[in-house]
Amino acid sequence: MYCGKIVLILITGLVAGVVSTLGGGGSLLTMPMLIFLGLPAAEANGTNRIGLLIQDLVGIACFRSKGYFYPKISLLLGIPAVLGSILGVRAAISISGELFEKILGIIMIIVLITILTRPERRFIKNIEEENWGITRLIVAITVFFGVGFYGGFIQAGVGFIIIIALTLITGMPLVKVNCLKIFIRFAFTISSLLMFSISGKVNLLLGLTLAAGCSIGAYFGSVIAISKGEKWIRVFLIITILAMAAKLWGLLDFINIK
């Protein structure tokens, strides 16, 4: 039975890797699946961070190899994000699993709408010249404490939040935004994973299996993107996320995949 879970998690990770490569939102598939397979909500939340950590580590290596590296800004925004994530993890661990699942179901729908409408593109079109005045810096530090809290609490869709926040506050170009997004997310994913691990809320075997699947899926996602077959993935994503959200809300309790 446990072998069956490993296979299912590997497949889910593969699909999530494809989805993340094409537009983001892979955690909307992986975290609910971990819950459906029997992990308590907090443990599913913590286990999911292993794949995210490896994914961002690869992204950082890619950006650095191309000469994109902004240590000062990453540190300025990463520190408040890490502090916020610590509080976010504490909140995620302290609430009941049932309440967390309901919250996750709501967030899944919100993030799905964000993926489909991509509001950040509208902000990027109206981008101004990059501005790091003292007022904007203070606002950015405050906002990223909140971003870190959300990332520590649930993480799903946090990449979109970071893109919108950096674009609106600083007016920096998209390439720089995406680079900083990965560095900052990597920073608070480390702190989040550490907090979940200390609390005994991480399943290492399932987490590494998930990470392997996501890595394979990322490769296939790049192939699909080149062949322009992503519209079928979007349809699959809509149907799957809606079904998983309904399951989390108890609307499909007659389906038992544990």
Burial of residue 258 (CB within 10 Å: 0-12, 13-18, 19+) is exposed
- Average pLDDT of the chain is 80
Give the rounded percent of residues in the chain with a pLDDT score beyond 90.
Answer: 22
Find where tokens 């906002």 sit: 143
The answer to whether the beta carbons of residues 144 and 81 sit under 8 Å apart is: yes
Query: What's the pLDDT band for 125 if we cut at 50, 70, 90?
Result: low
Note the pLDDT of residue 112: 77
Highest mean pLDDT among 115-119, 127-131, 159-163: 159-163
What does the pLDDT read at residue 146? 94
Domain ranges of the chain: 2-248
Report DSSP state, residue 173. -
- Residues 95-114 have a mean pLDDT of 85
Instruction: Name the token pair of 177.
Output: 């935004």
Each residue's pLDDT tens digit, 144-200: 999 999 999 988 778 878 888 888 888 777 778 878 888 888 899 999 999 999 999
Across 11-15, 29-33, 57-61, 233-237, least confident range: 233-237
Q: Which residues contact 120 (CB under 8 A, 6 or more apart)?
A: 160, 163, 164, 167
How far is residue 216's CA from residue 231's CA, in Å, rounded to a whole number?
20
Closest CA to 42 of 95, 4, 80, 111: 95
The mean per-residue pLDDT over the stretch 223-228 comes to: 56
Q: Look at the pTM and tell me if it is higher than 0.85.
A: no
CB atoms within 10 A of CB 8: 16
Residue 254 token pair: 């007659």
Q: d(Cα 223, Cα 230) in Å, to the nearest integer?
A: 10
Best-predicted range by mean pLDDT (4-8, 40-44, 145-149, 171-175): 145-149
* Strand, coil or helix: 214: helix
For residue 200, count other CB atoms closer than 10 A to its CB. Answer: 11
Q: CA-CA distance, 152 to 106, in Å (whole number)?
A: 17
Mean pLDDT within 30-57: 87
Q: Kindly give, in sequence order, each residue whose CB lies less than 8 Å from that of residue 185, ignoring residues fewer than 6 positions away.
A: 52, 56, 151, 158, 159, 162
Nearest residue to 47 via CA among 57, 60, 33: 33
